[in-house]
Amino acid sequence: MVSFLWMLGQHAVLWVIFKEDDNYFSVIKNSWGIRFGAGFLLISSMSMFSLLWYSQQEQKETEGRKTETERLSKEAELFKLRQQLQPHFLFNSLNSISALTASDPEKARHMIQQLSNFLRGTLRKNEQQWNTLEEELNCLRLYLDIEKVRFGHRLKTEIIYSDQSLVLKIPALLLQPVVENAIKFGLYDTTGEVLIRLQAFEENGNLKIVVQNPFDPEMSQPLKGTGFGLSSIQRRLFLLFARHDLISTKKDRDLFITIVLIPQVSVNEKA
């Protein structure tokens, strides 16, 4: 219809201009089919390009909304996972403080102070996605101080790291559930002193965290179920890096070993 109207308008204009020239007007009149086809192709092409452009813009807007929705959903799930780490640790600490108030009030007071410092630090970090390894280790030491009050001389810890690794990035509050899992399998199923060893170093562009704890193969089966702690870490790492191979566990004689990899190249790209 647009081509037909365009053709009529063109014909009227040309008739007014060239009505005195019968030969030229005759050529114009006899070429209406060619001019109609050319006009039809031109208008169709313009319409098609306009349709494609608007469709592309609409698709970009739809993809942008979808990406933003997925980002908000991922952040909400990450926040939920971080929040789920605290309650049962807090309940255990409060139960221990309650037991200490009668037997050792001074130790209970010290534990309350440590718990206060730990919670203050974790609350400040709740809005942060990433920490340096140094910041994460400082938070972990507060957590371990509380656990050492709970378990007394039975809990021994060793943290090994290189100076170069302290500036590497790690998701906030990631180490606590790893060490908590090690304490669970190390102290709950064994007797006597238990050494929890954590090593952190850079390897092939990754921050590699290795946590070792002893376990009694006859009393525990850590490989059959890693519990909420390690499963939540695996989920967090998948949401951040879309990879399932960043956390693994194995046993070596009477040691249970957890290995966590944090890709630094991906972290820098996200930053």
* Domains of the chain as residue ranges with CATH: 74-270 (3.30.565.10)
Residue 222 clears pLDDT 50, i.e. is over it? no
Q: What is the mean pLDDT of the chain?
A: 78
Instruction: Write out the H or E segment, with its range, that includes residue 249.
Output: strand 247-252
User: Helix 86-103 vs helix 133-151: angle between axes, to the nearest 10 degrees?
Assistant: 40
pLDDT over threshold 90, residue 207: yes
Residue 215 burial by Cβ neighbours in a 10 Å radius (0-12, 13-18, 19+): buried
CB-based contact 253:214 (threshold 8 Å): no
User: In terms of pLDDT, which residue wins out, 121 or 230?
Assistant: 230
pLDDT band at 50; cut points 50, 70, 90: confident
Which strand (E) or helix (H) includes residue 13? Answer: helix 2-18
Q: Distance between the two ends of the chain, CA-based, in angstroms?
A: 54
Q: Which amino acid is at 80?
A: K
The pair of structure tokens assigned to 201 is 């170093």
Cα(182)–Cα(173) distance, integer angstroms: 15
Closest to 179 in 3D by CA, of 192, 198, 193, 160: 198
pLDDT band at 211 (very low <50, low <70, confident <90, very high): very high
Residue pair 247/230 in contact by the 8 Å Cβ criterion:
yes
Tokens of 51: 């349709």
**Which of helix, strand or coil describes residue 191?**
coil
pLDDT of residue 252: 85
What letter would DSSP give residue 254?
T
Average pLDDT over residues 117-121: 76
The separation between CA 160 and the C-alpha centre of its own chain, rounded to angstroms, equals 26
Query: Using the 8-state DSSP alphabet, how is residue 223 labeled?
Result: G
- Percent of the chain scored above 70 by pLDDT? 68
Mean pLDDT score, 140-157 = 86
Higher-confidence position of 28 and 161:
161
pLDDT tens digits, residue range 165-189? 999 999 888 888 889 888 888 887 6
pLDDT on residue 267:
57
115 alpha-carbon distance from chain centroid: 27
Joined tokens for residue 56 = 């592309």
